[in-house]
Amino acid sequence: MTAELFAAALGIEEPWSVTKVDFDAGRKRLTILIDFKPGSRFAVAGQEGVHPAYDTATKTYRHLNFFQHECHLEVRVPRVKLPDGSVKQVEPPFAGKLKGFTLLFEALVMMLVQQMPFAAVARIVGESAYRVQAMCEKYVDLALDVADFSEVRALAIDETSRARGHDYVTIAADADARRVVCVTEGRDSAAVLEIAAELEAHGCPSEAIESVSIDMSPAFIKGVTAYLPEARITFDKFHVISHANDAVTETRRIEQRTDPSLKGLRWSLLKDVSRMKPHEAVALDAVLARLTTLRTARTWLYKEQLREILDRKQVNVVREMLKHWCTCVMRSKVEPMKEVAAMIRNHFEGIIAWAQTRATNGFLEAINGLFQAAKRRARGYTRFSTIRTVIFLIAGKLDFRPVNPHSVQPT
């Protein structure tokens, strides 16, 4: 009766059956012995028909805990002899993708690792962090092998640091589905080539990409132009405003050397006016009252004008207003903002494209933030394969169900 109960709980079906159940109270370990009926025949992947057992070997698989007790399946696994004389190992239907685990155990691990670091999951399930990480890398690779990117039409591409210094990885995401589709080393034009190759391998030819949102990196511009020839490049509003904010900060730094009243106003000058606290609004009004004599005030005004221009959606209106804005800034004496105007002129069409496409890297910046937080919790990652795995677990929206039927549906 006990064997039948455990067979039902485990979902063991013919020709497999539970033959014995051992419990070691001291080790808190439950061992379930599984065998097959004599004379059973087995199918082998890639081979037609079913075949008799040739010999057997005992294998152990880690399964989900029974309450607080570790559960292990000891299975007498057959090898079969094929018509061509070769001998092949049979994989039980409950065997996982990584040696020594069941599919249910792996499904539990894959659910947990999307919420916490490898080491924390390892402590919960009682396995080493190395094996948990190896399992995740295996599942990410298998899920990507069957992933379909044929519907991807718009990309967002950005880089994130993998370590201190100038060591980066490039992330490409489907801008419509908000999911990562490729992670590659470096941040040069070769990274874009690898992204194009990855999309091609999953059913999306490079010519199918209609829009790409990137920062103003010359390497990314060169790569997109060369390897995604039909894509319209968009430099989103937030990158442009970020440069304008830097100009405001630089101007304030220069002027505060001779005007102490500007000290402590950095964040007030960068903050959205509608979100300011009363004392911050008063401080800003005091700065703007000196518009004719204070370059920081004029720089702030240019920045706000630029923000208003880029909020518009009429392409021709944005084009003319931006040209006029650049002309006014270039005639001013605010050198940091003149650099922004020169940058806008050099990337004019990509900035204008924002008015139509509204393509943004904002969600990708959020993904970068989640990855950096995960990296800090794990005290850093040394291998690129680990970085790639973590990013896909965080934001790949991979469907593991074709690989493991017990996996949950991605959200």
**Mean of pLDDT values over 41-48:** 84
Q: Which residue has the tokens 């020594």?
A: 100
Task: Render 94-107 in DSSP notation, one character per residue.
Answer: TB-SSTTBBHHHHH
The mean pLDDT of the chain is 90
- What percentage of the chain carries pLDDT values higher than 70? 99
pLDDT at 248 over 90: yes
At residue 390 the predicted structure's pLDDT band, cuts being 50, 70 and 90, is: very high
Does 9 score more than 80 pLDDT? no
Q: How confident is the model at residue 163 (pLDDT cuts 50, 70, 90)?
A: confident
C-alpha dihedral (326, 329, 331, 336), degrees to nearest 10: -120
Model confidence pLDDT, tens digit, residues 216-233: 999 999 999 999 999 999
Span 203-210, mean pLDDT? 95
| Confidence band, pLDDT 50/70/90 cuts, at residue 411 | low
Question: What per-residue confidence (pLDDT) applies to 291?
Answer: 75
pLDDT at 1 over 60: no
In three state form, how does the secondary structure of 173-233 look? EECCCCEEEEEEECCCHHHHHHHHHHHHHCCCCHHHCCEEECCCCHHHHHHHHHHCCCCEE
* Secondary structure of residue 172 in the 3-state scheme: strand
Output the pLDDT for position 114: 86
Q: What are phi and psi of 202, to 5 degrees?
A: -115, 30
Query: Long-range contacts made by residues 361-364, C-beta under 8 angstroms, separation at least 24?
Result: 361/156, 361/157, 361/158, 361/213, 361/214, 361/215, 361/236, 361/238, 361/239, 362/236, 362/238, 363/156, 363/173, 363/175, 363/178, 364/156, 364/157, 364/158, 364/171, 364/173
Query: What pTM value is reported for the model?
Result: 0.85
Q: Please write the tens of the pLDDT for every residue from 305-360.
A: 999 999 999 999 999 999 999 999 999 989 999 999 999 999 999 999 999 999 88
What stretches of 256-361 show up as alpha helix (H) in DSSP?
Answer: 266-270, 278-288, 295-311, 315-330, 335-346, 348-357
